[in-house]
Every structure is written in C-alpha cells, then in structure tokens.
Amino acid sequence: MALSMSVSAGAHNARHNTDLAYRANLRNVDADLSVGNISIRDVPIAEAYETVFGDSLRAYNAKQKSKGHPERCIGDYLSKIEKAYSDDSARVKSGNKGRVNVPKPCYEYVLQIGNRDTFGGELDNGKAEEIFRETADSIRSKTEGAIEWFQIAVHFDEKDGTPHMHMAGIPYATGCKRGLSTQVSMGGALKALGLERLPDLQNLMMRELEKAAAAHGIERRLMDCDRKHLDVPEYQQAMRDYNELTDRIEQKRSRVAELDRDIEGRERTVARLDRSIETKTKRLASELDGRFY
C-alpha cells in the first residue's frame, strides 16, 4: 500500500488542536467524528515554559537582584517572548521594518497521511493512530534536549481532510552566556540536533513518519510516474521562487498603476493648457479686432 505523506508548518492554535467545543463550530469539522480524535500530549504552553525555563528564569532574576538591577528582572518569560514576537510581526506587517532576530514562542507542524484523492478504505483510523503515536514518540526521542513538544493531537474529524497530526513544540538552547542560561531559540535547537536549516527539521520529521508507516506496510506514495513529492528543501525553494515571482508581478502592477496615474495627470495638464491657450487666443483675437475699428 502506498499513500502520500506531508509535513508542513502552521500557526499554533491550542483550541483548534484539542478543544472539541471549539472544533464543533468549525465549518470543515464533523462534530460527530470528533470523539475519535486523539490527544497524545496536551500541556498548557505556560506550564511547558515553566518546565523548560523556570529554573533558568529564577537564577537570572536572582542574579539581577544581587547586582542591584531589579528592573531587569523578568516576571513572565512566556509573556515577554509573545509580546516581542507580536510587536515585531506588527512592524513587519506595517511595512516599517523587516523581521529581526526575535524568537517565535513555539512552532507547530502538521503531519499528514494521504489526501482526499488517495485516502479511502486502505487505512483505518486504528492503524493511522498507531502510526502517528509511533511517529510522535520517535520525533520526541530524536529531538530530546532541544524541543519540548507540549501539544500533540491527531484529528479524524475534518470532512474534507485526511488523518493528520498536529505537533507544537518549543525550541530552546542551553548554556547561553547572555540573559537566561536556557532560552527560546530555534537556531540553538537546530545546532544541538546537528541540523543546519529549519527545513532539515521537517525532513527529520518526515523520515520518522515514513519509518513508522513503513512498519505498518505503507510506503510513501509516488505522486507522479517518475518522482515523489517535492522534499522539504525543494518545496521551500519552490515557495521562495513563487513568492519572489508574485512580489515581482505585484511590483510591476504597482508600477503600471503609477504610470497610468502619471499619464492621467499629464493628460489633465495638457487639457488645461489647451483650454488656457484657447482662451488666450480668443482674447487676443478680440483685442486685435478692436484695434481695427
């Protein structure tokens, strides 16, 4: 048996992942099927932050107080990170500034098996659950000491979708010399895992998904006759190319609109000059006629 598989990044929404009452109001969800969803791990993000950064935060605050700088103490590390990231995002959206090196509070990935065209009776929910549980366990093991996966949920209730798993994690670095000794840091997490780029993490997750599926007799489906899905680096490059092309097209459109406005302005100026010349010509002709009487 062969089914398509994917690992994609998404925005974290804790209620979307595990709150059945919230999901019942979503258009793409069949609430009657939500009872089949699986919550593999569901730790509030604030609690996860305390687990990972609590001791480091208290040590940092004690050090600042001992130095006579209580104003530098951090009351709530999660709130500090969320605010900094939110402020930075607002600046980016306003066009005032590009994104700077502000850590993201957490990352979420969606792991999926099959799609609307390929998923059917070949894989039941029970086997899908086993694959996802084994995948989550292996990913957590592979990333231990670098990413705290605080929320992991499997959904079977999306009418137009297929079984998929949400994994939300907090990347961190230890042994930091400035600030907290343990800090939110995807760069530090990747370094600890021996990875160079963020897409490498998605590739790691995909490999674990493929391994778990293969153990249950499911291979990653060839989407075309001669190749698999784009792997994550290829997909990321394709999206960068697409976004760059889209930006260039938008810039061209903006330039064309600007030129159109410029042409319209020049046409109005020419029309005003024509009217002015016509008025002056008539006045001059009238004055000349008067001199000959």
**Residue-level pLDDT at 55:** 97
Residues 148 and 291 occupy one common structural domain: no
Give the end of a domain, one of 229, 245, 272.
229
Residues 265 and 202 occupy one common structural domain: no
Whole-angstrom distance, CA of residue 288 vs CA of residue 96: 61
Q: 243: pLDDT confidence band, cut at 50, 70 and 90? A: low
- 7-37 pLDDT, tens digit per residue, is 999 899 999 999 999 999 999 899 999 999 9
Q: Which residue has the tokens 């592979």?
A: 142
Residues 113 and 211 occupy one common structural domain: yes
Instruction: Say what the alpha-carbon torsion angle 142, 145, 149, 154 is, to the nearest 10 degrees.
Output: 20
Residues 146 and 14 occupy one common structural domain: yes
Residues 218 and 287 occupy one common structural domain: no
Whole-number average pLDDT of the chain: 85
Print the domain residue range for 259. 230-293
Q: Is the pLDDT of residue 118 over 70?
A: no
Residues 28 and 72 occupy one common structural domain: yes
**Residue-level pLDDT at 228:** 45
Residues 105 and 79 occupy one common structural domain: yes
**Residue-level pLDDT at 262:** 73
Radius of gyration of the chain from Cα atoms?
A: 30
Mean pLDDT for the stretch of residues 270-284: 85
Residues 204 and 269 occupy one common structural domain: no
User: Smallest Cα–Cα separation from 37: which of 212, 158, 216, 134?
Assistant: 158
Mean pLDDT for the stretch of residues 44-57: 97
263 or 211, greater pLDDT: 211
Q: Is the pLDDT of residue 272 over 80?
A: yes
Residues 264 and 210 occupy one common structural domain: no
Residues 142 and 188 occupy one common structural domain: yes
For the chain, what is the domain count?
A: 2
Residues 193 and 245 occupy one common structural domain: no
- 58-105 pLDDT, tens digit per residue, is 999 999 999 999 999 999 999 999 999 998 888 888 876 666 678 999
Percent of the chain scored above 90 by pLDDT?
Answer: 58
Residues 177 and 54 occupy one common structural domain: yes
Query: Which of 144-153, 253-262, 270-279 is predicted most confidently?
Result: 144-153
Give the end of a domain, one of 229, 256, 272.
229
Q: Is the pLDDT of residue 255 over 80?
A: no
- 167-185 pLDDT, tens digit per residue, is 999 999 999 999 999 999 9
Q: Is the pLDDT of residue 45 over 70?
A: yes
SS (H, E, C) the chain: CEECEEEEEECCCHHHHHCHHHHCCCCCECHHHHHHCEEEEECCHHHHHHHHHHHHHHHHHHHHHHCCCHHHCCCCHHHHHHHHHHHHHHHHHHCCCCCCCCCCCCEEEEEEECCCCCCCCCCCHHHHHHHHHHHHHHHHHHCCCCEEEEEEEEECCECCCCCEEEEEEEEEECCCCCCCCCEECHHHHHHHCCCCCHHHHHHHHHHHHHHHHHHCCCEECCCCCCCCCCCHHHHHHHHHHHHHHHHHHHHHHHHHHHHHHHHHHHHHHHHHHHHHHHHHHHHHHHHHHHHCC
Give the end of a domain, one of 229, 250, 283.
229
Cβ burial of 84 (10 Å; 0-12, 13-18, 19+) is middle
- 120-168 pLDDT, tens digit per residue, is 556 788 999 999 999 999 999 999 999 999 999 999 998 877 889 999 9
Q: Is the pLDDT of residue 187 over 50?
A: yes
Q: 37: domain CATH number?
A: 3.30.930.30
